[in-house]
Amino acid sequence: MKISRVETKHCLVGEGPVWDVAEQALYFVDIVGRQLHRYDPLGGATTSWTAPAVIGSIALREGGGALLALPDGVYTLDFDSGGITPLALPGVRDPRIQFNDGKVDRRGRFIVGSTDSNLKDTQPIGALYSLDANHVMTVIDTGIHISNGPCWSPDNKTFYFSDSLLHAIHAYDYDLATGAIANRRLFASTRDLGGIPDGATVDRDGLMWMAICEGAKVVAFRPGGAIERIVDMPVSLPASVMFGGANLDLLFVTSIDPTVLGRSAEDGGGHTFVIEGLGARGIPEPRYAG
């Protein structure tokens, strides 16, 4: 196994990596820097777009461009012009709430959570939303403090989602045909791992790989919730993970620069890393169908 730093943009809060199989490129966001980056491993170039507010997560669209989860809802980004347009806004809401981590299911829906942005007195005022191809946004769960880590089992029957404040990774039954969720239960806790559950992805064998922020590690969980493997990272604040590369056997890991939290700088903090030789392969990420 080998861990290397990727020669791309440094982030204040690197999050939301998405590997696009068609382009063979890695997209990721700097939440606080308000930027979406596209890294081309073959040519080594990074292209960037700037948003008017913090970016919680992104998804690529079937018709081109991207979705951006901004604080008050979901917007579209035109890659050519850089134009950003509202697509789905939930309406009247608590101004403390902002949209955070999200991913696309294998029917092309964008599933995205919201978060209480007040980290000193965080309340369970966030929710989980499903945005269908017709741009209709539906609330599918509530009572969330800090939303993170949405991903699905290879058979699409289990949806994973975390409330980071509670150190809790939850599993739900998932109906891919309708997008409905049910039977929420505790999948695993990260309290004994020294950090909070952050971004996650699932490999083709059903292992769920997660960045443990504050814990300086990436952890692979078995489908039953037991730990399969722990990978120690060279930074304390890994933030999210995504399989990529031509064979989907490289694990990209974004991270947070600790100076954004008022801490001392650390070598590599805020950079993106790639892990080779894990012996695992990911599943192609779908694009949003709308």
Residues serving a catalytic function are 198
CB 62 within 8 A of CB 45: no
Query: What is the distance between the alpha carbons of residues 144 and 126, in angstroms, rounded to a whole number?
Result: 4
Q: Which residues contact 153 (CB under 8 A, 6 or more apart)?
A: 159, 160, 202, 206, 223
Query: What is the distance between the alpha carbons of residues 92 and 195, in angstroms, rounded to a whole number?
Result: 33
Closest C-alpha to 265, from 12, 6, 36, 8: 12
Residue 145 phi/psi, 5-degree rounding, is -85, -65
Classify burial at 111, counting beta carbons within 10 Å of its beta carbon; exposed 0-12, middle 13-18, buried 19 or more. Answer: buried
Query: What is the distance between the alpha carbons of residues 200 and 116, in angstroms, rounded to a whole number?
Result: 20
Q: Is 11 helix (H, G, I), strand (E, B) or coil?
A: coil
